Amino acid sequence: MSRRSAIDAARARSAWLFVTPMLVVLAVVAAWPLARTIWFSMTNATLVDLTTYDFIWFDNFVVHAEGRWYGIFTDPQWLRALWNTLVFAAVSVSLELVLGVIVALIVNASLPGRGLMRAAMLVPWAIPTVVSAKIWQWMLNDQFGVVNAMLEGAGFTDGPIAWLGGSSLAMVSIIMVDVWKTTPFVALLVLAALQTLPKEIYEAAKVDGIHPVKVFFKVTLPLIKPALVVAVIFRLLDAMRMFDLVYVMTGSSEETMTLSVFARQALVSFQDVGYGSAASTGLFLIIAMITVIYIMTLKPLGQEKAA
Partner 1 sequence: MGLRGLFASWKSVAAALAALVALGPAQAQREGGAHIAIACGALGIELELCRDAAQEWAAQTGNTVEIVNTPNSSSDRFQLYVQLLSSQSADIDVLQIDVVWAGMLQSHLADLEEPLGDRVDAMFPALGANNRVNGKLVAVPWYIDAGVLYYRKDLLDKYGYAPPKTWDDLTRIATAIQKAERAEGNGRLWGYVFQAKAYEGLTCNALEWVASHGGGSFLGLDRAFTADNPQARTALNRAAGWIGTIAPRGVLNYDEEASRGVFQTGNAVFMRNWPYAWALAQGAESPVRGKVGVVALPKGPDGKSAAALGGWHLAVSRYSRHREEAIDLVRYLTRAEEQKRRAIVGAYNPTLTALYDDREVIAANPFFATLYPAFENAVARPARPAGARYNQVSDAIWRASYDVLQGDSKAGPALTRLEDEIARIAYRARWSEQAE
Partner 2 sequence: MKSNRLIKNGALVLLWIVVALFLLFPFYYAVVSSFREGSAIFEASLWPGDPTLANYRAVMTDQPFAKNILNSLIVAFSVVVLSLGLATFASYAFGRAKFKGRRLLLYTILGVSMFPQVAVLSGLFEIVRLFGLYNNLLSLVFSYMIFTLPFTVWVLTSFMRDLPVEIEEAAIMDGASSWTIVTKVFLPLLAPALVTTGLLAFIAAWNEFLFALSFTLTNEQRTVPVAIALITGASQYELPWGNIMAASVIVTVPMIVLVLIFQRKLVAGLTAGAVKG
Question: Looking at beta carbons, which pairs linking 49-58 to residues 24 or more positions away fall under 8 Å?
Answer: 50/273, 53/273, 53/274, 56/274
Instruction: Confirm or reject binding of residue 271 to partner 1 (CB under 8 A).
Output: yes
* CA–CA distance, 131 with 137 (Å, rounded to integer): 10
Contacts of 38 (CB under 8 A, 6+ apart): 277, 281, 284
Question: Whole-number minimum distance, CB 166 to partner 1, in Å?
Answer: 3
Q: Which one of partner 2, partner 1, none is in contact with 87 (Cβ closer than 5 to 8 A by kind)?
A: none
**Which of 91, 118, 162, 252 touches partner 2 by CB under 8 A?**
118
135 binds, among partner 1, partner 2, none (CB under 5 to 8 A by kind): partner 2
Q: Find the binder of partner 2 among 69, 83, 94, 113 (CB under 8 A).
A: 113
Q: How far is the CB of 70 from partner 1 (least distance, A)?
A: 5
Under the binding rule (CB under 8 A), the answer on residue 6 touching partner 2 is: yes
Half-sphere CA count of 87, side-chain side, radius 13 A: 17
Interacting positions 38-77 with partner 1 (CB under 8 A): 44, 46-50, 65-66, 68, 70, 75-77
> Residue 224 binds which entry of partner 1, partner 2, none, with Cβ cut-offs from 5 to 8 Å by kind?
none
- When asked if residue 158 is in the footprint of partner 1 (CB under 8 A), the reply is no
Length of the chain in terms of residues written = 307
One symbol per residue from 55 to 94: x for binding partner 2 (CB under 8 A), - otherwise; what is it?
----------------------------------------
- When the beta carbons of 19 and 79 are compared against partner 2, the nearer one is 19
Among positions 82, 97, 103, 175, the unique one binding partner 2 when judged by CB under 8 A: 103
Give the Cα separation of 50 and 33 in Å (integer): 14
Give yes or no for residue 254 binding partner 1 (CB under 8 A).
yes
Q: Which does 2 bind (CB under 5 to 8 A by kind): partner 2, partner 1, none?
A: none
Binding site partner of 220, from partner 2, partner 1, none, Cβ cut-off 5-8 A by kind: none
The minimum distance between CB 36 and partner 2, in angstroms, equals 3
Q: In angstroms, rounded to a whole number, what is the distance separating the alpha carbons of residues 189 and 194?
A: 9
Q: Which residues contact 87 (CB under 8 A, 6 or more apart)?
A: 171
Minimum CB separation of residue 70 from partner 2 in Å reads 20
Q: Which residues bind partner 1 (CB under 8 A)?
A: 44, 46-50, 65-66, 68, 70, 75-77, 142-143, 160, 162, 164-167, 253-254, 268-272, 274-275
